[in-house]
Structure 1
Amino acid sequence: MGSLYYGDTAEPIQIEDRALAHLKVVIATKLRRNESFTLSWRHPDGEPVGRSTIWLHPSIPLRFVFQEPSSPELSRAWIEELAHSANSSGGITLVEEHLAEAGE
């Protein structure tokens, strides 16, 4: 399980490593362009049921911490799906990866 530290909050947002690696690509691209946006996710198992949203801005410190030492192979389709949502009025919504069926 990876961690996303945002601003001066000591408690991280827990996000699965693979999902966090894909989010990192999209978030870094948007912040590099000096764009602000929201990030929304459903609370993981073990936390109170619900969802959260944060406002991401280039001037606010952000740190990605991964449990796994090696980077996963990234899915271009998942990055594109997250990037598409990042450019919408609703901001990035963390969605599950849609894995291709065998034989596709």
Structure 2
Amino acid sequence: MGTIQHGNGDEIHIDDRALAHLKVVIATKLRRNESFTLSWQHPEGDPVGRSTIWLHPAIPLRFTFDESEAPQLNTNWIQELMQSASSTSGISLVDEVLDTPEV
């Protein structure tokens, strides 16, 4: 379970694989000087609910991963996260988009 440290040091716990994909999207948006929100459902073990944070290039962020090796990235998932990041509701952390063979 990785973490994003946001602003004053608040830690957001996110699965390493999801965090690797989020990092690409967040870094891309912030590099373009674009602000947006990030929303997620609280993980199991935390109080039930969801949270949203505001991301802006001036707010410090730190990504910390438990795994030492970076996973292979899924471009479909990154594209879906990028589309949501550009929407008025911001990024919603959704389950991974998997390629499914057509029948």
Cα displacement string for residues 75-99 of structure 1 (whole angstroms, at most 9, x for unaligned residues) = 0000000000000000000000022
Per the alignment, residue 12 of structure 2 pairs with 13
2:60 is the counterpart of 1:67: no
TM-score by length of 1: 0.94
Q: Secondary structure at the match of 1:41?
A: strand
Task: Give the number of equivalent residue pairs.
Answer: 102
- Please state how far the C-alpha of 1:8 moved relative to its aligned partner: 1.2
What 5-or-longer segments of structure 2 have no aligned partner? none
Are 2:76 and 2:98, in contact at CA under 8 Å, matched by a contact in 1? Answer: no
Structure 1 unaligned residues grouped into runs of 5+? none
Aligned alpha-carbon RMSD (Å): 1.0
User: TM-score, length-normalised on structure 2?
Assistant: 0.95
Tell me, in whole angstroms, the C-alpha distance in 2 between the residues paired with 1:85 and 1:35: 13
SS at match of 1:12: strand
Match of 1:52 in 2: 51
Structure 1 runs (4+) greater than 6 angstroms displaced? none
Q: Which residue of 2 aligns with 1:28?
A: 27
Question: Which amino acid is the alignment partner of residue 3 of structure 2?
Answer: S
Percent identity, aligned pairs only, is 66
